[in-house]
Structure 1
Amino acid sequence: MEHHGQLHRKINHMWDLVVMQAREQLRAAKQRRKGDRLVVACQEQTYWLVHRPPPGVPSVLEQAPERGSCTARRVLMNADFYKREIECCRRALGRTRVKSSVSLEAYLKFSNQHRPHDPIMSGCLPSNPWITDDDTYWAMNAPRVAEPTQLRVERWAFSFQELLQDPVGRAHFMDFLRKEFSAENLSFWEACKELRHGGQAQVPALVDAVYQQFLAPGAARWVNIDSQTMERTLEGLRRPHRYVLDAAQLHIYMLMKKDSYPRFLKSDMYKALLAEAVIPPETKRRVFPFMWKPRRSSPSPALLPASASGDCAAAPGGPGGGPGEA
């Protein structure tokens, strides 16, 4: 009864507060002019029209939420329940997980690898075109350049996707594949990419052209794919669409990634490109304050130790005493 009385008094206090606020709002509304009252009423109606729930969703303003039943959600603790729990725990234990130390080490390696290539963390060479009138940075890192920069060539070794995304890197990789008599793999990958992003009206003609050039028996630039992928591709050619060659493209992509790409990074061609790459000289100091080296300054007198402050106070008087001494 004591707790019930406390709850009753608390609810009464809250209700008194609500009534008082309502009376104050009513008094303020009566004191408003007629035009202001119309504006407030229109604003309130507009608010509820905009924020009303979508059709089919219950509105708490029209009906109260139904009280949940504890008996309906009660779980029967029998043998079957515990068997399901044990099986769920076994599957959770067998699930592969990555240790936090391994993931943090990979994240640290990724950060250290990409830090020299981040314009914010390492600055732009030869200068920052966003704060200067020199646009040499954009000219040297254009999609098509005669001589790539050293940082650009280094990024090709990060991943195979980095190499294919760079038009200059893809062109040099094509030259390497021509020397190994496997340039048709990259040409097939480019043709599939063009098919995926081409117009819908040209899809049947492009699919037939790619098939006749790379996949048909006796094709001029035949690519080697496994029988299962070939069967899936031939089945999809009956009703050609822009994604019909995705399986064959993925097979050739993995073949180049695991076989041709590592040999390209170890080849003399890539080493020569890395040695002959352009290193732009720095013409303007970095402007970001967290990249500057901290300047050395004298310590503040307020931070000096007590002994040092005492020595400084005694220094003006000197060993012969202050001006008060005779």
Structure 2
Amino acid sequence: MEVSERTDIVQWLMKNLSIEDPVEAIHLGSLIAAQGYVFPISDHVLTLKDDGTFYRFQAPYFWPSNCWEPENTDYAIYLCKRTMQNKARLELADYEAENLARLQRAFARKWEFIFMQAEAQVKIDRKKDKTERKILDSQERAFWDVHRPVPGCVNTTEMDIRKCRRLKNPQKVKKSVYGVTEESQSQSPVHIPSQPTRKTTKEDIRKQITFLNAQIDRHCLKMSKVAESLIAYTEQYVEYDPLITPAEPSNPWISDDVALWDIEMSKEPSQQRVKRWGFSFDEILKDQVGRDQFLRFLESEFSSENLRFWLAVQDLKKQPLQDVARRVEEIWQEFLAPGAPSAINLDSHSYEITSQNVKDGGRYTFEDAQEHIYKLMKSDSYARFLRSNAYQDLLSAKKKVSLGRAASPFLALLTFACCLLLV
């Protein structure tokens, strides 16, 4: 099979397709190359280059129009086959070596079968003429460059996920490049027809019916409800996004207003900050000041052990490994052991699981107990806190902003202007 240069391909396109602009012909040729109908004989990147690279036309068997969808088993056989041939032109690229290692781990149980298939293909290849073998190797490489492209290159065989869901292309079926199955032994290489698809059985239809019934019973949200939820979330948090709503008070690093620092020094939460605690239980747990206020409220009701247990478990997850066992024992003795000074209320199932986990103490020993306590606080303590006078007082409190300091930049500017007028 003869080879061609880029200029030959461009001229052929301009002549046969009546293209007047060479740039348009180059672009069209690059698209054809990206699909694998034309490929460079010594490069994995399928495009037309202006550097004297030689190109070859792909054999019709490998054309993408044949609706190929090769499986990873075929790709593993191809890569394994190349490693068995000590030739520089067949040496694996770095990304191919990584793919081979990943496939070897994925197909560890049937790697012996893959290796045997690759050996059989190599033996058959060696019986062919040298020139024919070189051409076949380049065609096979170009085929896999289309279906397993170089990282960073566009995968032209990818299908839009919405089209995949519609199942409007029944002709595109999975078929083996080498025509092998797990039960078959050595076969001829690439030029054999694919195996016929298996007929649908009654069991397959029953499975499909079961699957479709399960899909019908699924709880699916309407797009209108999803949109309403997203809009509500955005409207709720828009005032906390400094890219949309200017911070109030303003950032002292880009303005002369130091009110923000004064508020931080006073350790009194702003009205905006307190309002955010009411959005969700997670918001108050994320905020150090919010946790302190919530803990103070629980202490006033003599029920702070749940929050203290939750915080202790959170702290346990950050402890050095050498301190984990000691800290697990301390938490157990304080909150869960018989006669514990700050006993928490756990259901029997969570307590039994936690008791077993304590024997082999780790960072996640109290995971089940923590989740149970979290749900209790969210449904009971947190709701009472939002209704309490303590939270309502914080929410209605006026932000204490020092008017003197806030107005100082304006007064300074006014004084400077007056001086200029007097001069």
The alignment's TM-score, normalised by the length of structure 1, stands at 0.66
1:176 and 2:297 equivalent?
yes
Q: For each residue in 1:29-84, what CA deviation from the matched residue of structure 2 results, as whole angstroms up to 9, or x when unmatched?
A: xxxxxxxxxxxxxxxx9xx96555436279x8695457365753613134333222
Deviation at 1:107, TM superposition (A): 1.0
Q: 1:252 aligns to what?
A: 373
Instruction: Check the 8 A contact 2:351/2:369 in 1, yes or no.
Output: yes
Deviation at 1:117, TM superposition (A): 1.9
Q: 1:94 aligns to what?
A: 217
Q: 1:206 to 1:22 in 2, by over 3 A?
A: closer
Rounded Cα–Cα distance in structure 2 between residues aligned with 1:271 and 1:209: 36
Q: For each residue in 1:143-170, what CA deviation from the matched residue of structure 2 results, as whole angstroms up to 9, or x when unmatched?
A: x852111110000000001001111111
Instruction: Check the 8 A contact 1:145/1:168 in 2, yes or no.
Output: no
Amino acid at match of 2:308: S
Deviation at 1:218, TM superposition (A): 0.8
Q: 2:100 aligns to what?
A: 56
Q: Please, which of 265, 273, 276 is the counterpart of residue 155 of structure 1?
A: 276
Q: Please, which of 30, 33, 52 is the counterpart of residue 25 of structure 1?
A: 52
Rounded Cα–Cα distance in structure 1 between residues aligned with 2:398 and 2:272: 8
Deviation at 1:133, TM superposition (A): 5.0
Q: Which runs of 5+ in 1 are unaligned?
A: 1-9, 27-44, 285-326
Q: Report how many aligned residue pairs link the two structures.
A: 250
Amino acid at match of 2:52: Q
Amino acid at match of 1:86: I
The alignment's TM-score, normalised by the length of structure 2, stands at 0.52
Q: For each residue in 1:89-135, what CA deviation from the matched residue of structure 2 results, as whole angstroms up to 9, or x when unmatched?
A: 11111111111111111111111111122222110112234533545
Instruction: Check the 8 A contact 1:213/1:220 in 2, yes or no.
Output: yes
Q: Secondary structure of 2:213's match? A: helix
Rounded Cα–Cα distance in structure 2 between residues aligned with 1:249 and 1:23: 64
Instruction: Check the 8 A contact 1:233/1:245 in 2, yes or no.
Output: yes
Deviation at 1:278, TM superposition (A): 1.5
Q: Please, which of 67, 74, 79 is the counterpart of residue 177 of structure 2?
A: 67
Q: 1:53 to 1:87 in 2, by over 3 A?
A: same
Q: Secondary structure of 1:240's match? A: coil
Q: 1:55 to 1:257 in 2, by over 3 A?
A: closer
Q: Secondary structure of 1:147's match? A: coil
Q: If you compute each CA radius of gyration, which structure gives the higher value, 1 or 2?
A: 1
Instruction: Check the 8 A contact 2:306/2:344 in 1, yes or no.
Output: yes
Amino acid at match of 2:271: Q
Q: For each residue in 1:152-211, what CA deviation from the matched residue of structure 2 results, as whole angstroms up to 9, or x when unmatched?
A: 000000000100111111111111101211011111111111111111111111011111
Q: 1:288 aligns to what?
A: none
Instruction: Check the 8 A contact 2:259/2:402 in 1, yes or no.
Output: no
Deviation at 1:280, TM superposition (A): 5.2
Identity among equivalent positions (%) equals 33
Rounded Cα–Cα distance in structure 1 between residues aligned with 2:302 and 2:352: 26
Q: Secondary structure of 1:122's match? A: coil
